[in-house]
Amino acid sequence: MSGNRRRKSRQDTPAETSGNDAPKAKSLGPLRLLADAARKYPGVVGAALVALIITSAATLAIPSGFRLIIDRGFSGEGDISRWFQYLLLIVVIMAVGTAFRFYFVSWLGERVVADLRVRVNRHLMAMPPAFYEVNSPSEIASRMTADTAIIEQVVSSTVSVALRNLLMAIGGTAYMFYLAPTLSAWLVLAIPCVVLPIIWFGRKVRNLSRASQDRIADVGAMTSEVLSSMQIVQAFNQEDRERDRFRGAVDRSFEAASKRIKVRSVLTFVVMTMIFGAITLLLWKGAIEVTAGNISGGTIAAFVITVGLVAGAFGSLTEVYGSLLRAAGAAQRMGELLDARPTIAAPERPQALPVPPRGQISFQNVTFRYPARPERAALEDFTLIIEPGETVAVVGPSGAGKSTLFQLVERFRDPQAGNVRIDGVDLTRADPADIRDRIALVPQESVLFAATARYNILYGKPEASDEEIWEAARAANAETFLRDLPEGLDTFIGEAGARLSGGQRQRIAIARALLRDAPILLLDEATSALDAESERLVQSALDRLMENRTTLVIAHRLATVRAADRIVVMDEGRIVETGDHDTLSAAGGLYARLARLQFDDPVA
């Protein structure tokens, strides 16, 4: 089918959504999707939060441990080992808490991603083929793997790092003010003076690094361009010119690099002066307070350690923000998949198809254009009624609209004008699942899954017994080779059935359709040549499949058109001729020409 060809060509350009290159979202809003998913596990979320709070509290208790050791332990008051025992206890609590936090948070990350994958997949199953023309399967696959991996990483680690640091920053700041309010106030006032110049210079360095990388890339591009056009360079005696051009590019890249190095040196100076200067000033001020007897030595030690912890916490908060935005981007893309609504769905109160089924198909003045090619009608004012039990062979040049007929009968798409009916019921009024229950589809390329033969045949009727499977296999001339397989029906047939021959794959597809036992058969005959024996087996299996069914067949074999009750010749979305093989061949029109080419028919 032409649809398949289009899909393949798109798969050649895989989507590049991976790791650090994944686009970021503008805000953290899309992460709500993950919060909603996590809410299903309140116990685990609660346990993770408790572990998180305990570890943050334990970490913050460490400075207090030092304070006690210095103030009480070193002062000779009582037993110093008591304070070390206290510190050890804190360490153990912190370690146990961290292990639990890791377990619960990672579990949650894996669970949320697993649920998300299942949810997206369930949603994708409801999407009509048109959706997959806009969203290429390879891109969706990348969203299901790369994007979910980013989300998983974030939920299971970044979020917990962010929360822990947030708690530490808040708790640590409060503790700092508790320990030494005046010093803390000084510190808070000093922070902008330290941080702002660092941010300013940091940004400048980043921009200059980017510029320098661009210049290096120019050099690389020029090298490969010139070297691959060497014959032209030499044929036109332009070596000197190219040499100069290259030297220019290298000079520019050096200039960009030296600018970056200069600013970077200044940045180093600023960072060191600011940070160590601030620390020294702080210690100085602290020492004055200690000497004045306003605060103890232990307090000043605890204060400095806490400042370190708080600074570290703020530092990593700015780092994780980028990862969170990246995860939000991934969540947004998953959300887009989940938000897509199927254009083909059952109406609120679907009309039931009559029971027992008769198998009549009718196209009434159908006009259909593919959304991707609105300027060209794939079917135009197309009218055809296929009576129950009738076999109609559709013949026509490539692009005539033959496969489109199948798309409409399966209700993979709805026509823009006219209607398609099965047993008198307009398909847009019926439930697509009901419609498809009445149809067996045998596509041109046998679509088989990487599973066992049994799995593939059961696709036609999942609840079928072994007896029914073998009966279908027998009628499809597949019994003998299936019994010869090492594990019979339970043999793994390889990726897309690769461990079977072309004819065997076709017969499995036929067995599947036979098992379905539907009143309507849509058959797109395979064009690939089989050897005579295989061809005979497939043909007789198909004959059995067509028996007592309404069959619409896109015909590629002489035997099929000869056996058909009616041949419909299509061109550019319209019917141009109808009749049987002999009359149409004699008429000398499009059919006669196609028959000569396609069916290799000496009579025509």
Ligand X SMILES: Nc1ncnc2c1ncn2[C@@H]1O[C@H](COP(=O)(O)OP(=O)(O)OP(=O)(O)O)[C@@H](O)[C@H]1O
Binding site residues, ligand X, CB under 6 A = 1-3, 133, 370, 372-373, 376, 378, 396, 398-404
For residue 418, what are its two tokens?
């006219």
Give 125 or 372: the residue with its C-beta nearer to ligand X. Answer: 372
Q: Hey, is 268 helix, strand or coil?
A: helix
The minimum distance between CB 578 and ligand X, in angstroms, equals 16
CA distance 166 to 313: 7
Q: Give the integer Cα–Cα distance in Å for 239 and 233.
A: 6
Collect contacts of 244-250 with beta carbons under 8 A, ≥24 apart.
Answer: 246/219, 246/222, 249/215, 249/218, 249/219, 249/222, 250/219
Beta bridge partners of 366: 382
Q: Cβ of residue 138: shortest distance to ligand X, in angstroms?
A: 17
Q: Which two tokens stand for residue 466?
A: 């072994």
Is 454:490 a contact under the CB 8 Å cutoff? yes
Min dist CB 480 to ligand X, Å, is 32
Nearer residue to ligand X within complex by CB, 282 or 378: 378
* Closer by beta carbon to ligand X, 10 or else 536: 10
CB 143 within 8 Å of CB 22 = no
Reduce the DSSP state of residue 158 to 3 states and report it. Answer: helix
CB nearer ligand X, residue 228 or residue 398: 398
In 165-245, where do the E strands start and end?
A: none
Report in angstroms how near the CB of residue 568 gets to ligand X at its nearest: 12
Q: How far is the CB of 407 from ligand X (least distance, A)?
A: 7
How near is the Cβ of 128 to ligand X at its closest, in Å?
A: 11
Q: Which is nearer to ligand X, 3 or 197 (CB)?
A: 3
Q: Distances in Å between the alpha carbon of 361 and those of 421, 428, 441, 451, 460?
A: 6, 14, 15, 34, 21
C-beta of 4 vs 234, nearer to ligand X: 4
Q: Which is nearer to ligand X, 20 or 398 (CB)?
A: 398
Spatial separation of the C-alpha atoms in residues 84 and 66, rounded to whole Å: 9
Amino acid 255 reads E
Report yes or no: 378 and 573 within 8 Å, Cβ to Cβ: yes
Minimum CB separation of residue 509 from ligand X in Å reads 17
> Tokens at residue 351, please?
């009309």
How many Å apart are CA 185 and CA 8, to the nearest integer?
Answer: 65
Query: Quick one: 155 or 400, whose CB is closer to ligand X?
Result: 400
CB 378 to ligand X: min, Å? 4
Contact (Cβ atoms closer than 8 angstroms) between residue 383 and residue 366: yes
